[in-house]
């Protein structure tokens, strides 16, 4: 097969309807059971803020949940649970800017439950995250009305969101009212499991009508004292021209609204435009947030002009970020759903914020908007396309070094110990207890022992630097971050003179089902293989890191960390003498894993059907997963996912252990049978590891991950927010595992493993500041060096063992025949 099309499509110029379908997430009809999920999946975000796809007229209830969130904006609250103070920090649900309500004859006519729906279509145009609702309904008086609602959160102008209604009375004429509001009476109430915990985060400050068309509301978060102001300008247009209509204003300190009095004529459409500006006291160039929001919204563009500007920004993003797979339309479509949501959460607008990668995006309240280790799965997508965004997300960690240092010290360690769940301050935000919905009981939560998050941060910085060669970042922040983490691990490891090796005790791996040894009083395990091997790798990189810097910069980093030569010597020693547990010729998940009991998987499947959440099942039975050879998600297997065979062989050889050629295959065979995939991240890891020796079974896992959010396979979790790690992980599988791309030794390597289900893949990456289009088909790989950057340089590539230089503006073809 020869390649005719070697680049992401120009989304702006594609108007064919099949392409529209590939870029649309569509729902027909109303289904109350599905509405929460649709609201999440059709949310509109721009990396600065996001709003759920709730209909404008709905309030929070068991079906709907309007929520608006700003990236990185948290508040802490305390609940007395049985007299015990429980502290939680939440991504704050901000004032709802959506409300538009239709009243006819003094009665609210647009409650879907009260009208007869003649037509209802709900769409998200993925090209630009534009939400459209198209509906026709008949009210109790027999009046038929058509409403087309469109909205977006501007990618081009990050503080702005726009909403437009086009109303047509189909068989009636007469007076009607549209109520436009900003509602500050909101709480965090989106996750039923958290409802016993305090959800009030906002204090009302006041409401104003600074201009006849503009209303504004100011609130302040109760503990973090962030001022948030939302202003809205509502206008009426007839035949495209603004018209004056009578308005009545109403406000309380936490709610503001304007009622527009319209005279509607049968068959004549009228448009209502609501433009919104949101500013917080965390924003630069902002004094009084209300003044800023008011001024900004008063100057905002018309809906159409703002939409064109917004589409143009998205179009450029797709040029950089689209990933094409040929031969599987469903996979293509879902990848685009994922890319759209990743960019709605982390976009160039995020690059100026102090915000991390929230595991569940910014369109729901699951995990309280906290930042876990999931960026490990997200950054590879961003680094290859929007490296400035990755840098900013790494800066979120760097800015929290003081807390990481204090946490290490409080635990009797040195260096930087990052929290398992991070929010505003960078302190540990993991809850102390969590509710098991199966038993209704609050269980102790030991997951904060997942110290591997600090290893992931080290890895992320290193990947960013190898991919971008951003030596400035390495010099000014990266090296300090990495070496402080190495110092932490060195202080956690202790030398066992019996084994003559280093050991790590008291931590948990990514598999959260093993919190401690059966019957043990203390949490944590001995020698979790994922952690130990990772630390051996970290110590090796760290020991040589300063050699990469010019002497004065290396000295500055040393001085800042007060680094001693003995420390570096100890890192070298750890990289050669870390202990790794084995049993039956494979790496044990942790020391003592072999002594655990085998679970009767068939019996549990027969009894419960879905056994992904074996932790809840076993605990509800009065048992504990700690007793069994099982895993929530990939743990030891993650090593193959992160490092690949060559790197693992180097690590193991340095450690004096054997690493047989079939080690990865044997590991995945063993653990695959014992993993419940209770976190969908696990499908990503298993798919990645299987790609090399069983691409088709890898594709099966990939497909599960791909469908997991859109199909809500965990039964209700996606309505509480997307899964960022899985969404980005699927896209990363295409580039790093199916195209087999990795940056190493100053070269871009490609070792394709295309599954039988697809004919090929194509995407654009930025490698060492040069934009490249990579196309991998069954019989050929094409790498095109696209011009467009000032300091582009030729790029060295190695495809299936052959090395070549791709000239600036040039193209290299590699036959795979």
- Which residues of the shown chain bind ligand BGC in the complex (CB under 6 A)? 359, 367, 372-374, 510, 512, 632-633, 679, 681, 725
Q: Going by C-beta distance under 8 Å and a sequence separation of 6 or more, which residues neighbour residue 303?
A: 150, 162, 164, 273, 275
512 belongs to the catalytic site: yes
* Burial grade of 738 (CB within 10 A; 0-12, 13-18, 19 or more): buried
Identify which of residues 188 and 280 has a Cβ nearer to ligand BGC in the complex.
188
Cα(751)–Cα(797) distance, integer angstroms: 11
Beta bridge partners of 145: 137, 169
Reference 73, options 353, 389, 364; nearest CA is 353
Q: 591-614 b/e with 16+ CB inside 10 Å = b?
A: bbbeebeebeeeebeeeeeebbbb
**CA dihedral sign of residues 717, 721, 726, 727:** positive
Q: Going by C-beta distance under 8 Å and a sequence separation of 6 or more, which residues neighbour residue 69?
A: 49, 50, 51, 91, 92, 93, 94, 362, 363, 369
Beta strands in 186-311 (DSSP E): 202-211, 214-221, 227-238, 241-243, 247-252, 255-264, 270-280
CB of 432 to ligand BGC, least distance (A): 17
Identify which of residues 68 and 679 has a Cβ nearer to ligand BGC in the complex.
679
Identify which of residues 98 and 359 has a Cβ nearer to ligand BGC in the complex.
359
Q: DSSP readout, 430-445?
A: --SEEEETTTTEEEE-
Identify which of residues 301 and 516 has a Cβ nearer to ligand BGC in the complex.
516
Active-site hit among 365, 428, 475, 512: 512
Q: Going by C-beta distance under 8 Å and a sequence separation of 6 or more, which residues neighbour residue 410?
A: none
Residue count of the chain: 817
Identify which of residues 480 and 615 has a Cβ nearer to ligand BGC in the complex.
615
Contact 666, 658 (CB under 8 A): no
Cα(368)–Cα(94) distance, integer angstroms: 14
Contact 580, 591 (CB under 8 A): no
> Using the 8-state DSSP alphabet, how is residue 475 labeled?
I
Judge whether 633 is annotated as a binding position.
yes
Judge whether 373 is annotated as a binding position.
yes
Identify which of residues 639 and 776 has a Cβ nearer to ligand BGC in the complex.
639
Identify which of residues 367 and 473 has a Cβ nearer to ligand BGC in the complex.
367
Contact 579, 496 (CB under 8 A): yes
Reference 326, options 739, 709, 741; nearest CA is 739
CB of 371 to ligand BGC, least distance (A): 9
Identify which of residues 154 and 679 has a Cβ nearer to ligand BGC in the complex.
679
Judge whether 319 is annotated as a binding position.
no
Q: DSSP readout, 148-203?
A: EEEEEE-SSSTTEEEEEEEEEESS--EEEEEEEEEE----S---GGGTTS----EE
CB of 374 to ligand BGC, least distance (A): 5
CB of 109 to ligand BGC, least distance (A): 41
Pairing of strands 770-777, 68-70: unpaired
* Burial grade of 206 (CB within 10 A; 0-12, 13-18, 19 or more): middle
* Burial grade of 810 (CB within 10 A; 0-12, 13-18, 19 or more): middle
Identify which of residues 372 and 416 has a Cβ nearer to ligand BGC in the complex.
372
Give the relative orientation of helices 529-545 and 452-468 as an angle to the nearest 10 degrees: 40
Cα(340)–Cα(40) distance, integer angstroms: 13
Judge whether 332 is annotated as a binding position.
no
**CA dihedral sign of residues 184, 302, 127, 784:** negative
CB atoms within 10 A of CB 419: 24
Cα(570)–Cα(523) distance, integer angstroms: 27
CB of 666 to ligand BGC, least distance (A): 24
Instruction: Read off the tokens for 605.
Output: 């499947």
Identify which of residues 43 and 96 has a Cβ nearer to ligand BGC in the complex.
43
Cα(495)–Cα(467) distance, integer angstroms: 35
Instruction: Read off the tokens for 604.
Output: 């549990």
CB of 351 to ligand BGC, least distance (A): 23
Contact 369, 221 (CB under 8 A): no
Identify which of residues 160 and 448 has a Cβ nearer to ligand BGC in the complex.
448
User: Which residues are annotated binding-site positions?
Assistant: 373-374, 632-633
User: Which residues are annotated binding-site positions for substrate?
Assistant: 373-374, 632-633
Catalytic sites, residue numbers:
512
């Amino acid at each position: 097969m020869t390649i005719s099309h070697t680049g992401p499509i120009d989304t702006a110029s594609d108007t064919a309807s099949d392409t529209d379908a590939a870029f649309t997430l569509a729902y027909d009809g109303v289904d109350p059971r599905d509405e929460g999920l649709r609201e999440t999946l059709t949310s509109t975000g721009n990396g600065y803020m996001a709003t759920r796809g709730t209909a404008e007229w709905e309030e929070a209830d068991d079906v709907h949940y309007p929520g608006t969130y700003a990236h990185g904006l948290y508040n802490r609250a305390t609940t007395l649970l049985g007299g015990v103070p429980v502290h939680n920090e939440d991504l704050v649900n901000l004032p709802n800017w959506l409300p538009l309500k239709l009243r006819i004859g003094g009665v609210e006519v647009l409650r879907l439950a009260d009208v007869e729906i003649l037509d209802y279509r709900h769409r998200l145009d993925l090209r630009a995250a534009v939400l459209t609702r198209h509906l026709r309904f008949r009210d109790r008086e027999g009046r038929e009305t058509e409403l087309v609602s469109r909205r977006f959160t501007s990618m081009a102008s990050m503080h702005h969101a726009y909403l437009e209604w086009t109303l047509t009375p189909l068989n009636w004429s007469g007076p009607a009212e549209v109520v436009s509001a900003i509602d500050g009476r909101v709480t965090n109430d989106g996750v039923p499991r958290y409802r016993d915990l305090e959800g009030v985060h906002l204090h009302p400050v006041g409401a104003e009508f600074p201009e006849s068309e503009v209303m504004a509301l100011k609130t302040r978060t109760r503990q973090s004292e962030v001022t948030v102001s939302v202003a809205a300008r509502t206008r009426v247009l007839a035949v495209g021209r603004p018209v004056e209509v009578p308005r009545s204003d109403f406000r309380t300190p936490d709610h503001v609204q304007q009622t527009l009095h319209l005279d509607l004529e049968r068959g004549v459409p009228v448009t209502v435009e609501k433009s919104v500006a949101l500013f917080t006291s965390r924003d630069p160039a902002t004094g009084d947030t209300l003044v800023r929001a008011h001024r900004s919204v008063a100057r905002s563009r018309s809906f159409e002009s703002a939409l064109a500007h917004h589409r143009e920004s998205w179009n450029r993003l797709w040029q950089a970020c689209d990933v094409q797979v040929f031969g599987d339309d469903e996979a293509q479509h879902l990848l685009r759903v994922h890319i759209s949501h990743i960019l709605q959460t982390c976009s160039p607008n995020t690059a100026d914020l102090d915000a991390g990668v929230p595991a569940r995006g910014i369109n729901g309240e699951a995990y309280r908007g906290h930042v876990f280790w999931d960026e490990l799965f997200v950054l590879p997508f961003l680094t290859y396309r929007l490296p400035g965004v990755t840098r900013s997300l790494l800066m979120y960690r760097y800015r929290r070094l003081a807390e990481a240092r204090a946490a290490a010290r409080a635990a009797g360690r040195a260096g930087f110990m990052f929290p398992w769940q991070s929010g505003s301050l960078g302190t540990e935000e993991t809850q102390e207890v969590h509710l098991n919905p199966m038993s209704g009981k609050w269980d102790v939560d030991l997951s904060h022992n997942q110290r591997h998050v600090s290893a992931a941060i080290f890895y992320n910085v290193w990947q960013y630097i190898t991919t971008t060669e951003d030596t400035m970042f390495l010099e000014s922040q990266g090296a300090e971050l990495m070496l402080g983490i190495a110092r932490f691990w060195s202080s956690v490891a202790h030398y066992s003179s019996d084994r003559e090796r280093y050991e790590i005790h008291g931590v948990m791996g990514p598999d959260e089902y093993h919190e401690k040894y059966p019957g043990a009083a203390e949490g944590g395990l001995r020698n979790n293989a994922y952690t130990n091997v990772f630390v051996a790798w970290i110590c090796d990189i760290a020991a040589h890191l300063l050699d990469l810097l010019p002497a004065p910069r290396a000295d500055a980093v040393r001085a800042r960390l007060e680094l001693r030569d003995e420390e570096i010597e100890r890192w070298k020693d750890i990289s050669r003498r870390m202990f790794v547990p084995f049993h039956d010729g494979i790496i044990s998940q942790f020391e003592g894993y072999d002594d655990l009991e085998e679970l009767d998987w068939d019996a549990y499947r027969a009894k419960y059907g879905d056994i992904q959440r074996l932790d809840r099942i076993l605990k509800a039975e009065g048992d504990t997963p700690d007793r069994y050879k099982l895993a929530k998600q990939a743990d030891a297997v993650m090593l193959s996912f992160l490092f690949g065979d060559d790197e693992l062989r180097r690590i193991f050889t340095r450690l004096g252990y054997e690493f047989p050629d079939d080690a990865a295959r044997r590991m995945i065979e063993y653990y695959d049978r014992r993993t419940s995939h209770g976190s969908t991240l696990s499908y990503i890891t298993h798919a990645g590891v299987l790609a090399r020796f069983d691409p088709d079974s890898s594709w099966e896992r990939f497909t599960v991950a791909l469908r997991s959010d859109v199909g809500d396979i965990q039964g209700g979790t996606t309505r509480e927010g997307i899964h960022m790690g899985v969404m980005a992980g699927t896209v990363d599988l295409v580039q790093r595992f199916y195209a087999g791309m990795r940056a190493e030794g100053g070269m871009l390597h490609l070792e394709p493993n295309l599954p039988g289900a697809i004919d090929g893949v194509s995407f654009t990456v930025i490698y060492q500041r040069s934009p490249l289009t990579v196309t991998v088909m069954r019989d050929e790989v094409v790498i095109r060096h696209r011009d467009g950057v000032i300091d582009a340089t030729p790029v060295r590539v190695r495809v299936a063992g052959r090395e070549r230089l791709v000239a600036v503006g040039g193209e290299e073809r590699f036959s795979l025949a």
